[in-house]
Amino acid sequence: MKHYEKFFINGKWVSPNGDGIAEVINPATETVIGVVPLGDAEDVRNAVAAAKAAFPVWSSMPPAERSQCLQRALYALSRRSGELAKLIANEVGTPIQFSRLAQVGLPVASLGTASQMAARLGEKEQIGNSEVTREPVGVVACITPWNYPLHQVVAKVAPALAAGCTVVLKPSEIAPLNAFAFAEIIDSSGFPPGVFNLVSGLGGTVGEALASHPDVDMVSFTGSTAAGRRVSELASQTIKRVALELGGKSACIVLDDADFETAIPAAVQACFINAGQTCAAQTRLLVSRDRYERAAEIAVATAEAVRLGLPLDEDVTMGPLVSANQRERVRKYIEMGISEGAELLVGGSGVPDGLQTGYYVKPTVFGQVRNDMRIAQEEIFGPVLAMIPYENEEDAIRIANDSPYGLSGGVWSGDLARAKRIASKLRTGQVEINGGKFNPLAPFGGFKQSGNGRELGVFGLAEYLELKSIQLP
């Protein structure tokens, strides 16, 4: 049981202004595993004031010294990686093996990258008679989600700090315990007071107070498209910079020359990753009508082989959804798919056998889906795959792009040149070819209503830098 009673503001653990709390529920057992305080606008004002006061010192610190602070944090995070993998498995329901790899492994990698990039900052570029410099944008509000909580915290906070910005972090109240652990790591790593501040709370109070605060220079937000729209509205009042990583309804195109025995299982898993609670999940599987029946058989077999169960069980490949509300949302979408006329191939909205306790949902595959159905157009955020037949290559591209989102996608083909040509026509921020692995150094972000800006690597760091031109005589 983790019980946090204070926020981390100006280098100290301080009592919140109010007395509200949020209970953190283990989604596999439905028991309370932690409590955190809920902040208000006054807590936000205190945190932003601390970040603003710390900015001149931190931004003018030599890059090598900022890098050393980040390296100390990296060492502390690495030492606690096993503990944090279990903590996030219990907070989110992520199976422990994947929690080690993604929920903690990616943050460790991102923090290491940020520490290296920090040491290389400060270079000036000569363009004609102009000297061009890159300077930190200022005070950054980082608002993070629950599905990959620590990954999103570090993906925002680490490059912002590397750039010389100061930060106020608002983690999701659904999975905040890892963020408090990260604040402990920062506290132990020798950062100047006020450089990093943590205030937990609800989006409607703490989130909105951060987005509208005149002394916040930038908001980096990950979450739903609706919430991102609200953040943009509030931020526009003070013309602050906004980076948004929002929803997705990504398509995986399996071409007729692909190896279906490899491609289809991989495509199904690309939908079911983290129980489908992944913004970049490939939730639409597009297959040639001529080979649809075989693809459906393999997809069903893959879904039936998923091992549902307790996240800390090493053999489990899918845990529960994060909350009762999320489970209910996903079940409604499954029922909606049936009412829309899609063919339920496997799964459904019922309780999985032997899992009456916990927010579990059956891995579900719908066949003969039309792309105008709501299950094909709206982000479900659960283990629900929509199989859509296409007539030819051009039809597949049309269907893939017929979405308000554009975050990710996939192409499978026996011809790499053909796959790359298809990938170039997809209006999306990233495309995996033949199961290409996630690259934490490559830019991550989306087109259309999937957001704006990019995270990770040098591209993510650039979001936190302003360009200045000094005209020389």
What distance in Å separates the CA atoms of residue 158 and residue 107, rounded to the nearest whole number? 9
Beta strands per DSSP E along 137-270: 139-143, 166-170, 196-198, 218-222, 241-245, 251-254
Helix (H) or strand (E) holding 8: strand 7-9
For the chain, the C-alpha Rg in angstroms (whole number) is: 23
Report domain extents, the chain: 2-246+450-471, 251-439
Looking at residue 427, its pLDDT comes to 98
Looking at residue 123, its pLDDT comes to 83
User: Is position 165 annotated as part of the catalytic site?
Assistant: no
Active-site hit among 165, 252, 271, 279: 279
Question: Per DSSP, what are the bridge partners of residue 252?
Answer: 285, 410
Determine whether 219 is exposed, middle or buried from the number of CB atoms within 10 Å of its CB (0-12, 13-18, 19+).
buried
Dihedral over Cα of 353, 355, 361, 365: its sign: negative
User: Is position 432 annotated as part of the catalytic site?
Assistant: no
Looking at residue 279, its pLDDT comes to 96
Given a contact cutoff of 8 angstroms between Cβ atoms, the answer to whether 236 and 216 are in contact is no
Looking at residue 473, its pLDDT comes to 95
Dihedral over Cα of 24, 26, 32, 34: its sign: negative
Question: What is the fold of 251-439?
Answer: Aldehyde Dehydrogenase; Chain A, domain 2 (3.40.309)
What distance in Å separates the CA atoms of residue 201 and residue 356, rounded to the nearest whole number? 31
Q: What is the pLDDT along the chain (473 residues), one digit of tens a residue?
A: 899 999 999 999 999 998 999 999 999 999 999 999 999 999 999 999 999 999 999 999 999 999 999 999 999 999 999 999 999 999 999 999 999 999 999 999 999 999 999 988 888 899 999 999 999 999 999 999 999 999 999 999 999 999 999 999 999 999 999 999 999 999 999 999 999 999 999 999 999 999 999 999 999 999 999 999 999 999 999 999 999 999 999 999 999 999 999 999 999 999 999 999 999 999 999 999 999 999 999 999 999 999 999 999 999 999 999 999 999 999 999 999 999 999 999 999 999 999 999 999 999 999 999 999 999 999 999 999 999 999 999 999 999 999 999 999 999 999 999 999 999 999 999 999 999 999 999 999 999 999 999 999 999 999 999 999 999 99
Tokens representing 462?
A: 């650039």
Q: What is the largest CA-CA distance in the chain?
A: 77
Query: Looking at this protein, which amino acid is placed at residue 10?
Result: N
Active-site hit among 208, 245, 432, 455: 245
What distance in Å separates the CA atoms of residue 70 and residue 326, rounded to the nearest whole number? 35
Looking at residue 13, its pLDDT comes to 98
Phi, psi of 416 (to 5 degrees): -60, -40
Q: What's 92-146 look like in SS3?
A: HCCCHHHHHHHHHHHHHHHHHHHHHHHHCCCCCEEECCEEEEEEECCEEEEECCC
Whose tokens are 């983690």? That residue is 171
The CATH classification number of 2-246+450-471 equals: 3.40.605.10
Determine whether 204 is exposed, middle or buried from the number of CB atoms within 10 Å of its CB (0-12, 13-18, 19+).
exposed
Looking at residue 122, its pLDDT comes to 83
What distance in Å separates the CA atoms of residue 61 and residue 356, rounded to the nearest whole number? 55
